[in-house]
Amino acid sequence: MQPSLQISDSLNVAAADAVRKASAALLRRQSDEGYWNATLRADTTLESDYILLQLWLHPPVEGVWNPPTRPRVDRAVASILARQLPDGGFNIYLQGPAEINACIKAYFALKVAGLPVSDPRMQSLCARILEMGGLQAANSYVRTNLNLFDLYPRDACPSIPPELILLPFNFIYQMSSWTRAIVIALAIVHAANPKRPVPGGFNLDELFLAGAPTRPERSLKLFSWRNFFLKLDRFLKVWERRGPRFIRSYATRKCADWMIAHFDYSDGLGAIYPSMQYAVMALDALGYAPDHPLRIEAQKQFDGLIFDRQAESGEGFYCQPCFSPVWDTAIAAFALGETEDPPLDSLRRTADWLLLKEVRRKGDWSTKRPGAEPAGWAFEFNNEFYPDVDDTAMVLLAFEKARASDPAAQQACQKRALDWILAMQGRDGGWAAFDVDNDWNILSYVPFADHNAMLDPSCPDITGRVMEALIACGLPSSHSAIRRGVNYLLRHQEADGSWYGRWGVTYIYGTFLALRGLRAAGLGENEPCIQRGLEFIRAYQNTDGGWGESCASYDEGRFISQASTPSQTAWALLALLAGGDLRSESLYNGIEYLLRTQRPDGDWNESYCTGTGFPRVFYLSYTDYRNTFPLLALSVFLKVASSSDEARARFESRGVKAAHAS
């Protein structure tokens, strides 16, 4: 429905009222233990993969597939079909176009589950897949998954050899942490070379585009890394058939040992959906019976990601890619702490819970930083091999607002985390998510690297947040780590004045965090880099006063606008405020947008993805971004504006159309 408008006394009164309502709404969602855990949503590929896993675990009997999970499979089918686009395809982000891999996964899952190919929905999906290049256009992971059921030729799928774990130079630790966890488990499955065709002549022949090659094509350059790795892949296929069995067996055992060791202190392998799925399949391929404790625990952790309350509340079925309690909690605490009257008791419970979640064991990161003392926080409830820099920086910022019951323990914890973050700075001066100097760019040409997530390099968004956190913890702006971080951000500013956002969509997110980091580091508002960043933000404001950026920005390598969203509007406002802009119409129009679109219950609506998993491949809808970031932006606005005579006079005299979206 269209918002209904009513005139408020002044902008500051309306903003303060919006902050009170947003704070109350956020506090209602806080758990008794003190944390927040908002739903994390993704695309239909997770539900499609769920059906694939059920087919793997419960193959057809006498040509009939009737798994014990049949009711859930049916609900997964309904969940997939509910998101089919008018053109027959499936997208990978809300309001986005059809994407070939999501379409192929959905078609396979729906057909396996029993939807006839004569169904109009299947016919339109098939036609859409053929328009986009057919089955041959699928990425390596889709082809490999289909090969497990003899639906795509094995020699046209990339080799994923377990021998990777035996390579020198800590090879597996040159891959990103998430790729590492996926590849190790998938290599076990790949080495088993399972033959599990679906009975009854099941095939996907109708999806093959006539005349299109089934194998990746060589680069036109005679000498290129792509051609080198394609040749290497051909060698590996010969090795699979003729190589010494004892080496493969040894490598498979090493992969199994690595995988099983990484189950400890974690809610599943890597605590993320793909690696947890492949871990269940790997244990099955290794011969672990369904009643083995490892299988039971791996299955339990995977099933925990499934939201299935249809029988109770009619809310449907979907799979979460992971849980995000530490991240949600740190952002919520920081936003509440910025309000004029922060809820100290609630924040104390939050700080106490966060202290319990500090990681005190060495994880994969220690391969490159063996001398650093373990500290930091993971994204999920339990994932101690993978604390990440971004979460740790956000928790440190939250700790500046939330005081624990034991101040001495909190102070010691903050000191450890600060030292760990300093140790995790890359040689380029920036910070990445999980590892240090994870930037072997040649790995992007490996045949199974087309999921666009092979590496975990430094990025401006994390670097900006880290610099803000370090300064908040008392590190002087003259510290060498801060100076190197500043230089990193200055080098990575885009030609249009923006910064790239790796973990949020896209240039608005990167610019907001880079500006906050640079300003925290002491750069003045009149610095050219700051002014260029502000100009970028102001240039892309929508006519309704808000900001919106499409995930298509990643595809185009430039800003692509979309309808305004509360979260991205908040990021833009935080960028303007960080840069010292208290004068422009852009700032006040943006504030009015947030006030106008707030719901009566204090929350906001958002129907676009603004979170990033893997750029161009996998996106996330953080369902509380739409609430926590507007709360933060409005609180910072009130705080900054009240300390400026010019700004106070400006908004006191300005009428505002405050609205409540019903």
- The residues pairing with 6 across neighbouring beta strands, listed in sequence order, are 658
CA angle 253, 254, 256 (to 5 degrees): 60
Residue 475: CB atoms within 10 Å: 18
Find where tokens 């995988």 sit: 259
Cβ–Cβ under 8 Å, residues 612 and 553:
no
Which residues are catalytic, by number? 390
Cβ–Cβ under 8 Å, residues 108 and 204:
yes
Report the C-alpha gap between 600 and 570 in whole angstroms: 19
Report the C-alpha gap between 237 and 225 in whole angstroms: 18
Please choose, from the candidates 236, 52, 174, the residue with its C-alpha nearest in 3D space to the C-alpha of residue 436: 174
Find where tokens 């597939």 sit: 65
DSSP for 185-252, please give it: HHHHHHHH----PPTTT---GGGSPTT--SSPPPPSSSS-HHHHHHHHHHHHHHHHHHS-HHHHHHHH
Cβ–Cβ under 8 Å, residues 460 and 489:
yes
392 Cβ neighbours under 8 A, 6+ residues apart: 375, 376, 377, 417, 420, 421, 469
User: Distance of alpha carbon 271 from its chain centroid, rounded?
Assistant: 13
**What is the sign of the dihedral through the CA atoms of 304, 25, 396 and 458?**
positive
275 Cβ neighbours under 8 A, 6+ residues apart: 178, 181, 182, 185, 268, 269
